[in-house]
């Protein structure tokens, strides 16, 4: 079994936004995609995923729409809004900055003078 990691606060939203860049998706699909993309090292819990989706819908980062699926079920599908796209850009940039900075510190072999 692979190692489990916990997501830092707010990261789930960034990941949802990233997922939706591939196209319209329902909640289950979003969760699965993130888990698979992380090589199953992440587990996305429903208790976090759905409140995050609804919060993002309220903020206008994503839109929701009810659609029929191929096996005739009714599902709620989410899509990125232009505002969501802007959020993703900003959030991934700051995330990468943090990761790079933290990584640089951890990798340093020299003792500070």
DSSP state of 54: H
Q: In whole angstroms, how close is the CB of 51 to another protein at the nearest point?
A: 5
85 sits near another protein (criterion: CB under 8 A): no
37 sits near another protein (criterion: CB under 8 A): no
CA gap 107, 60 in Å, rounded = 39
73 sits near another protein (criterion: CB under 8 A): yes
74 sits near another protein (criterion: CB under 8 A): yes
Token pair recorded at residue 100: 């790079």
24 CA to centre of own chain = 14
50 sits near another protein (criterion: CB under 8 A): yes
């Amino acid at each position: 079994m692979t190692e489990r990691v916990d997501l830092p606060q707010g990261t789930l939203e960034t990941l949802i936004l990233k997922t939706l860049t591939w196209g319209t998706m329902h909640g289950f699909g979003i969760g699965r995609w993130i888990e698979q993309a992380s090589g199953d090292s992440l587990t996305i819990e429903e208790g976090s995923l759905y409140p995050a989706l609804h919060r993002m819908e309220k903020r206008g980062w994503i839109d929701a729409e009810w659609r029929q699926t191929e096996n005739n079920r009714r599902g709620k599908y989410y899509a990125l809004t232009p505002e969501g796209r802007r959020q993703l850009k900003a959030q991934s940039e700051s995330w990468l900055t943090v990761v790079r900075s933290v990584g640089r510190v951890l990798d340093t072999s020299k003792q500070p003078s």
